[in-house]
Structure 1
Amino acid sequence: MNFAICDCWCHPIMDRVAIVSALRHLNRPSVSRKFSRKFRERRTRRARRPFWVGVDIGGTWIRIAASRGPRRVTTTVVRADRDLRRLAVLLRAIWRRRGWRRGDVAALVVASRALWTPRERRALALTLRGLAWRVQVISDAQAAFLGAVGDGPGVLVLAGTGSIVVAHDGRGRWTRAGGFGPLVGDEGSGFWLGREWLRSLARRGDLHTVLRLVHAPDTVAQIAALAPRVLARARRGDRPARAIARAGQIELAGHVRNAARALALRAPIHLSWAGSVLEDRWFRSGLIRAVARAGVRARWRAPAARPVDAALRLAARLAR
């Protein structure tokens, strides 16, 4: 007696055999490692495309911007440390938190306060070498100028925690006026306004407030934080506060005149501003009038970009 096997019973069995065989093949160590390696390489290439970083170090805050092409990757703001020798440690901690490695960062441009000479800039750049392929350090005032004014001639007034006036002739020559720190200068800055207010309180016998702030852990930042209140009082007509604000405006206007004369800039001079104090419209209007009274014919323009954006733009150029 002959029996015939129907093909309709064989096909499902053969399909199941083929599936099991394929699964066994994929689970072989060599194959799984191959697929895993390819996946990791593809993911790494996608995640590790080089980018560039700009850093703006002010008296109170550090602003960090990273970009890859036209797209901003991230922006970070942290409190500044007055000691620039600790900057490398602080930035390395941020790099670790972000998962950045030296190979990820094609270029790093740091715009720092308290730096003006090439020697000072080179010394800080040496401490940052492990953070990027290329590192450049410039003055925060120069970055603020490039962000606010651009590459042409003009003058920038920077008044935040500290203050400085910088001028550029558009052909590579720079000069400065003021900006010698809280002990010697920084006229018209947040710290200067706060300190003058404390002096007026001391003359009126309010020693409790004065002593509390003089002995605070971060004296400069704590005293600079008084500036918004001083300017608010000045706007309301408080005589001591108004006298302090006007004195600061006159000091800054004198710096503008001196910087413009040093480079023999032609009138009308392109002027702009940067810093938290000059974000106050009332104080800025008083400064504009003080500059005119100082004999400077100026054309004032709002800042085109922030200092951190200028540092980021320079980093993009450095990365090419």
Structure 2
Amino acid sequence: MNDSFNLQVPKFENPFERNDHLSDLEKYISDKLREDGFCVIDFPEENIEDLTNNLIKKLTKYFINKSSNKELEPGQRLQDAFQVEEVKKIASNTTITDLLTKVYGRRAFPFQTLNFSSGTQQGAHSDHIHFDSIPQRFMAGVWLALEDIDEENGAIFYYPGSHKWPALYNSEVEGNLTDGIVTLQNRFTDAWEAYAKFYGVEKQYFHAKKGQCLIWSSNLVHGGGRHINTKRTRWSQVTHYYFDECAYYTPLLSSPHTGIYYWRNIKDLITGKAKSNVVNGIDVSERTVSLSSEGFNPKRYLELNPDVKEAGVDPYRHFLEFGVKENRRFS
């Protein structure tokens, strides 16, 4: 192969890349992501105990318990709480961003954080349908356990090797943008569960120790187990990372086979600067598709979601970054 040719895929999955220059940890992460789609490491923070304890104290006020018996409400989340010092410190951890940069071959940057006090109980899903890129698969998730987590308080599950299953789009699950978000997401879940049954892959649960983190590639199928004991918390933070020199979009709201892409308005949470959507050096941001052309009514969305209206945020942006994954009504 010509030495000047660079295959535009994540470095860890590029068969033409040499990895003899990688450290032992970088090689471990590369090998695990390539073979299993995920890996587990200790979060690289010297004062992890103080960091996690302080973060939990600061975030507790944002989460609601059932008033009658102080039980948790599973599924609550807090997005992009970057004003909280510890959230930002976790997301911008230089060792993590450096590791991802080495393993993927492009500079990694955090673009979204989600904090949880309880289990999500979320069905099987792949981040790919929410966060994709061109070139494909330049996205990673890093989930950090802020306390011990087991089968009683909503452990994460995943299907090992599922990142090698086909990257599904709306066209593959007979989905149209007019079908509605819930219908579309259910079709993807049905497809992934069918693949798991066909390949004989059993879910595995991550019983995490405080301070452990799970790194996964964009197409790994994963979800949240039942939060059985709702008197126990399940504090955690997930940070989603993109990589430089890509275009960033949401397949769930796109129709690539008809030329419709919903480009995301991404901000690098470290620098605070907006990222351009670039494909091979060409900025494609001006090709943004308006949600209004696909049945999205911003006024109706605010009427149906008064908390969004009260927050004074842009309905388009909120729906794309938050409402989609929460199955919020929009029409």
TM tier relative to shorter chain: under 0.3
Structure with greater helix percent: 1
Which has the higher Rg, Structure 1 or Structure 2? 1
More relative contact order, 1 or 2 (CA 8 Å, 6+ apart) = 2
State the TM-score, normalizing by the size of structure 1. Answer: 0.25
State the TM-score, normalizing by the size of structure 2. Answer: 0.24
